Amino acid sequence: MHSGRVGTSTFLKGDFFAGEWNNAVPGGTFDLIYDYTFFCALSPAMRPAWSQRMVQLLTTRPAGLLICLEFPTYKDPLIAGPPFGLTPQTYLEHLSHPGKKLAYDESGHVQVGNHGSPTSDSLERLDHWQPERTHEIGKGTDWVSIWRHK
């Protein structure tokens, strides 16, 4: 169903972790953010900053959506990147505890359930599925997730 309303799209270029570039949009926040393998390109040490920045950039009114292509879940996290191997739990833990440095085990996987309850600024996962179509290397291991503020 089409609402008859016409929306707009804005593409911006800037340092994701710096605060000035997003001021070009009203409120400095976004209705939709699509993370297409950005998270896996960052070293694990940068993951807390990524999650904190996503929370800051995603609008709360109306509820903004963060869509993530979770890749490469097949890759051993101890093998150098980028891309850096990760699991869906890595997204879940970081977006439930934005900005917090999280513990990882000796195999390079984020420790699940050891970081306390989700923080008040956390995002909640609305949906999580494996896409029918994806790049050949990710078939059977890629995931898509959708997030929003609580």
Tell me what percent of the residues of the chain surpass a pLDDT of 70: 97
Would you say how long the chain is, in residues?
150
pLDDT at 9: 78
Give me the pLDDT at residue 142, please: 94
Sheet of 32-36, strand order: 32-36, 65-70, 143-149, 123-129
- How many whole angstroms separate alpha carbon 85 and alpha carbon 9? 32
Q: Within 13 Å of residue 107, how many CA atoms lie on the same side as its CB? A: 6
Q: What is the pTM of this model?
A: 0.90
pLDDT of residue 138: 83
Instruction: Spell out, as residue ranges, where the chain has pLDDT lower than 70.
Output: 1-4
Burial track 82-96 (b if 16+ CB lie within 10 A, e otherwise) = eebbbbeebbbbbbb
Mean pLDDT of the chain: 91
CB 113 within 8 A of CB 92: no
